[in-house]
Amino acid sequence: MTIIALGLASATIVLKFMDDVVFATIRMKETFRVAHELFIIYLREMDFDPARALHMGNVFRRGGQDTLLSEARRNAAASFRTCGGTPQLDGAKKSDAKNPKTDTKPNGKSDDSSKKPCPDFNAGRPCKKLKPDGTCVFAHRCNQFVSDKGPGGYCFGVHARCTGCDYDAAKKLRAPAA
């Protein structure tokens, strides 16, 4: 829109360029990350053209879409990493990289010093947030909100909420107290 507002190019040329580069890439079932990188690559092609003959109206028609698309895929894989910030094309494959899936099994114990009750324990499922030894990082206590323990107060009984909280029914809340 800035290009159009400044009068550097007409709206039809800019919109045709965007359709050819960005929206056609998304229609080919590529991710937006690839479309973003392809857009940047085409801007670079126009910027670094030695003859200064390329512009938004003719850069796509000059050809080389498959080469630029493969470069965009490589750039997207390197720029939009999702595996712990490890700069590899295939994600985090190194042994010392952070692995989002851990092999740690819950050992049934919990951190009694934690001030927060475990949501998994209270839902009756295995704990997901574990320390390396399998101990849950939260306290295995009831997470029923109650009105007489201050803002955000929990029942904090030794039972799970899914098995039935035995706290005074008149003081139970659906949401934390404000």
Domain that holds residue 106: 102-178
Q: What is the mean pLDDT of the chain?
A: 86
d(CA 3, CA 100): 42
**Residue at a domain's end among 27, 48, 79:** 79
Please report whether residue 85 resides in a domain: no
Confidence of residue 84 (pLDDT cuts 50, 70, 90): low
My answer on whether 142 and 72 are in the same domain is no
My answer on whether 10 and 65 are in the same domain is yes
Distance of CA 48 to the CA centre of its chain: 34
My answer on whether 106 and 173 are in the same domain is yes
**Residue at a domain's end among 48, 79, 110:** 79
d(CA 139, CA 123): 13
Is 111 exposed, middle or buried, given 0-12, 13-18 or 19+ CB atoms closer than 10 A?
A: middle
Looking at the 3D structure of the chain, how many domains does it have? 2
My answer on whether 107 and 168 are in the same domain is yes
Contacts of 18 (CB under 8 A, 6+ apart): 39
Q: Are 117 and 111 in contact (CB under 8 A)?
A: no
Please report whether residue 94 resides in a domain: no
Look at residue 139 and give its three-state secondary structure. strand
pLDDT at 93 over 70: no
* 102-152 residue pLDDT tens: 577 888 889 889 989 999 998 888 888 888 888 999 999 999 999 998 888
d(CA 154, CA 13): 61
